[in-house]
Structure 1
Amino acid sequence: MYLNPNAIISPNKLTEDDKSQYLALGGYTLDNWQQLESDLREQILTLEAQPTLKTKYGQKYQIMGSLNCPNGFILNIKTIWIVTEQITKFVTLFPAQER
């Protein structure tokens, strides 16, 4: 299944401190979080999503992929999204094992 390319990606989800060190390896900073959003839409949301957990808030999906980062580095990530009847929303990302 492919998720809605117009998914909601909240800026605060991309600027949280828990991700900053890992994302900095690829050249993503608080100053260019918009690049990360764009890269997630173009490089990750275009990949197939796998359903994971159904919660009272909606169906969760994961998308695993590689980000071709601004500095040329490649980060392997796992992203989590939640889908309801009304919206698709980015939840989080974290490092993924080498693919």
Structure 2
Amino acid sequence: MANLDRGAVIAEAKLTKYLLVPLLKDDKSQFLALAGYTLENWQQLERDLREQILPLEAISTGVTRYGQKYAITGNLSGPNGNAIRVKTIWIVADGIARFVTLFPA
């Protein structure tokens, strides 16, 4: 159990080219749209991940070749006022936490 650093890396491309675009497989854009997240407000999703999810307790889920893997589960209250329950995955390597993905919890 740990708290990940608020200085964590959340790659813009992870949000704008993966999570918020409709995909044939593993689409998460419709789920995120329930809370009002779209490509047009991707910065809000980044800010909300930092402010609403990162402060929560991170649970270690194992070590991969990329680093120590953590999961953080919590409610994400979106720009439209709706809250969705998400499970986020993070990798910590060389002291830096990096956002990997999220999905419905």
Q: TM-score category by the smaller chain?
A: over 0.9
Asked if 1:78 is matched to 2:70, the reply is: no
TM-score, normalisation: structure 2? 0.88
The SS at the match of 1:37 is: helix
Q: What stretches of structure 2 of length at least 5 have no aligned partner?
A: 22-26
Partner amino acid, structure 2, of 1:11: E
Alignment-mate amino acid for residue 78 of structure 1 = K
The CA deviation string for residues 8-61 of structure 1, in whole angstroms up to 9 with x for no partner, is 001121121322111011100000000000000000000010000201110000
Secondary structure at 1:6's aligned position in 2?
coil
- The whole-number CA distance in structure 2 between the counterparts of 1:49 and 1:86 is 15
* Structure 1: unaligned runs, 5 residues or longer: none
- Structure 1 segment 2-21 matched on structure 2, within 5 A: 2-15=3-16, 16=18, 17=21, 18-21=27-30
Q: How many residues align?
A: 96
Q: How does 1:29-68 map to 2 (within 5 A)?
A: 29-68=38-77
> For the residues of structure 2 that align with 1:24 and 1:68, how far apart are their CA atoms?
12
Deviates more, 1:68-77 or 1:11-20: 11-20
AA aligned opposite 1:40: L
TM-score computed with the length of structure 1 as normaliser: 0.93
- Is 1:92–2:101 an aligned residue pair? yes
RMSD over equivalenced CA pairs, Å: 0.9
